[in-house]
Structure 1
Amino acid sequence: MGPRGGWMLWTLCLCFSSRQNAALRVAMRESSLEVVRGDVVVLPCSFFTSSLLTRLNVIWTLAPSSSPQTPIQVIVYDHGQVIEDPSLIGRVGFTGIPWSADIVLNDTRVSDAGVYRCMVNNPPEAADPGIGEVALSVLAPPSLPACQWDGDTDSGGSVTLSCGVAEGVPTPEIRWDKLNPEEISLPINMEDERSGSVQIVNVSSQTSGLYRCSATNTLGTENCYINLSIYSSPDSSSGMLQGVLLTLSMSLVLLALMALLLWLHRTGQTRRWREGKEEEECYNEIRYTAALMKRSFV
């Protein structure tokens, strides 16, 4: 064998040796994905190997956004068998196994959000690094907010309007408005990311009306309402005026009664005086009878 043949043989041996010692590689075509709740999403995971796929092993796990410290197993491919997590049966599956480790996730839920890890092993090759990650965000419109109020609805009291929303991705923005007699935006005190409150002090009849809480994100808006009624006591100035008028009325009635009593009293005294005078005149009168007159002239 000449020098040329020896060189070719050496090259073939080197290529074969490199092929045997090649490490399996995993590549993620996307680092992050977004999906609207209820839609379908494909989580990509590509791998490159020089060995036969008879011993291929693929494991997908999820570190949920709600509890990243407690990852769960999503789906496994091992020696031709597919094993799904019981909570995901019917919603997850491989799309091109064994040539591709991509999986499809349908009827997505907010709880599906988190970091997915694709781990591929194909003995005798060693994985380097053998693990790929993709972050999944599941968008959702706001849930119906809950409105409530607390406080003193008497005039001069203080009332707090509160509103909270349980779900929504991105986190919904909370807003309070008074709708009538005209729409007025109210300042919000955010208690946390998903609830906001409004405090109204020294309430009056003008505070009464319809109030709306809105929860809004990129997917929509949901509202709840409170109809607030403030009890207002009668105005103090009008009360004083009524009191003065009542006092004057009673005074006039009393004066009229006193005048009547005085008139009756004086009328009675006049009558008695006249009757007494008439009786006195009757006693002092000299009565002449026929006998007296006859005696007078004898």
Structure 2
Amino acid sequence: MPGFGHQLVGEGLSCSHSAMGSSGRWIIWMLCVCCSAQENVALRVTMRESSLQVVQGDYVVLPCSFFTSSPLSRLNIIWTLAPFSSPEVPTQVIVYDHGQVIEDPALTGRVGFTGVPWSADIFLNDTRVSDAGIYRCLVNNPPETASSGINELELRVLTPPSLPLCQWDGDADAGGSVTLSCSVEEGVPTPEIHWEKLDPEKIALPINMEGDLTGSIQIANVSSQTSGLYRCSATNVLGTENCYVSLSIYTAPARSSGVLQGVLLTLSMCVVLLALLGLLLWLHHTGQDGWRWRRAKEECYDIRYTSSLRSFV
């Protein structure tokens, strides 16, 4: 049976051409050919999958099959990981060597073989973002040579979007320009970013993408109508996360209001001046009446004084 070091029973069979029937000789000859061919079969390693996906926190089996015709007493299996973040620095995940299993201390309890020595498959549980990358399975089984003793597969760990960060920058005075930005730390597949204004009615807004995980909108010539609640959404197949910005635009008092205040002030001053003028006229009129009364009194006194003198004479 391929893959598990079965040896053909009857290696001591002789292939001599003694006195046997033609059919017997043919059978023996075929057994000799098969035995020789089996001894020349090299170790082969294959992957049943070229890529796998797993949701963060779930369990996954990484398959690796090998085929050999030699005993498994010296079997050696090595799994390595080249993370997507640093593919040039692969790390050792787990090793099977002469019946012993050695795990990466950082993965203790989360990685293991499913059925050594008959299988090189391993499992990963409680998967994390750091588990994503290129996994390589290397199998050696001395003294057998390996024509393709290594193979690889890609593992992607799907994660929902992290909570995005919303912020704004710019001039919030009427007529100015404002930029709203939204960024998310992680998410696999890469989250799609959307901006929309929620009130007074929901309006989708065009986005300028700055890389895969940051999106912004620019609003020029802002006005009081620009004020409102804005929402950024980061979405992938595993869910959606939101953040919000409340924008208030300052609008200076209208010029017509200043003109009205000037008119009111002018009218007030006119009223005051008219009151003062009325007061002056009243005082003037009152002064003339007093003068006339004094004049009349003096004239009356003169008449009485003259009459008295005449009567005395």
Equivalent position SS for 2:146: coil
| Structure-2 change in CA distance of 1:245 and 1:2 (3 Å) | same
| Structure-2 change in CA distance of 1:84 and 1:277 (3 Å) | same
Partner of 1:180: 199
Partner of 1:57: 76
Partner of 1:46: 65
| Structure 1 residue 285 displacement after superposition | 6.1
Partner of 2:249: 230
Q: State the distance in 2 between where 1:198 and 1:170 align.
A: 23
Partner of 2:7: none
| Alignment equivalent of 1:81, drawn from 59, 81, 100 | 100
Say how many residue pairs are matched.
294
Q: State the distance in 1 between where 2:210 and 2:312 align.
A: 130
Equivalent position SS for 2:152: strand
Q: State the distance in 2 between where 1:294 and 1:185 align.
A: 118
| Structure 1 residue 281 displacement after superposition | 5.5
Partner of 1:118: 137
AA matched with 1:55 = R
TM-score, normalisation: structure 1: 0.91
TM-score, normalisation: structure 2: 0.87
| Structure 1 residue 12 displacement after superposition | 3.6
Q: State the distance in 1 between where 2:112 and 2:250 align.
A: 62
Q: State the distance in 2 between where 1:189 and 1:276 align.
A: 96
Q: State the distance in 2 between where 1:185 and 1:260 align.
A: 68
Q: Are 1:98 and 2:117 counterparts? A: yes
* Range that drifts further, 251-260 or 162-171: 251-260
Partner of 2:159: 140
Equivalent position SS for 1:288: helix
| Structure 1 residue 237 displacement after superposition | 1.3
Q: Percent identity?
A: 69
Alignment of 1:133-212 (within 5 A): 133-212=152-231
Partner of 2:149: 130
Q: Are 1:37 and 2:60 counterparts? A: no
| Structure-2 change in CA distance of 1:293 and 1:55 (3 Å) | closer
Equivalent position SS for 2:221: coil
* Range that drifts further, 73-82 or 261-270: 261-270
AA matched with 1:40 = Y
Equivalent position SS for 2:274: helix
AA matched with 1:110 = V
AA matched with 1:18 = A
AA matched with 1:120 = V
Q: State the distance in 2 between where 1:159 and 1:294 align.
A: 109
| 5+ residue gaps, structure 2 | 1-17
AA matched with 1:20 = E
AA matched with 2:213 = R
| Alignment equivalent of 1:69, drawn from 80, 88, 93 | 88
AA matched with 1:203 = V
Q: State the distance in 2 between where 1:271 and 1:28 align.
A: 128
